[in-house]
Amino acid sequence: MAIKQWILHDWSDEECVKILKNCKEAIPSKDKGGKVIIIDMVMKNQPEGDDSDDKAIETQLFFDMLMMVLTKGRERNEKEWAKLFFEAGFSGYKINPVFGLRSLIEIEPKSLTPFSLATPIATILLFSSPSHPIIVGLED
């Protein structure tokens, strides 16, 4: 499993695909427990005329502008995230909006054989502070 927190929004789509492909190469296949966990913002698509969540949308747009000014990145909606995941070769994703503006996103590589609970899981942990990405380790 690879965990990425507040990292991919710092990068362009092309760079995100490269990062995700590297993660896919570093983890086992889905049937061996491989998974990438991303904690990042998923922009909402607000229907026209719906002003029920204006402050949340305004905050998301502020973060999007901040990413464009400070980095080559941006905030993405679900459709844009899905495009990145499939371009990087992942077979599926699940978005869990559980951290306020942030969501927990699970993406999995393609499965080769049926899953077994006895299969060991390799883990890559990658956390980030605003200025220092840190690779914590690789465990078997």
Q: What is the pLDDT of residue 4?
A: 63
Give the N- to C-terminal CA distance of the chain in Å, as an integer.
10
State how far the alpha carbon of 98 is from the alpha carbons of 26, 37, 56, 58, 105, in Å: 27, 13, 14, 19, 10
List residues with catalytic annotation: 9
pLDDT at 94 over 50: yes
Any idea of the CA torsion for 132, 138, 139, 140, to the nearest 10 degrees? 160
**pTM for this structure?**
0.66
Domains along the chain with CATH numbers: 2-139 (3.40.50.150)
Q: What is the pLDDT of residue 95?
A: 93
Pick the range with the lowest mean pLDDT from 16-25, 42-51, 66-75, 80-89.
42-51
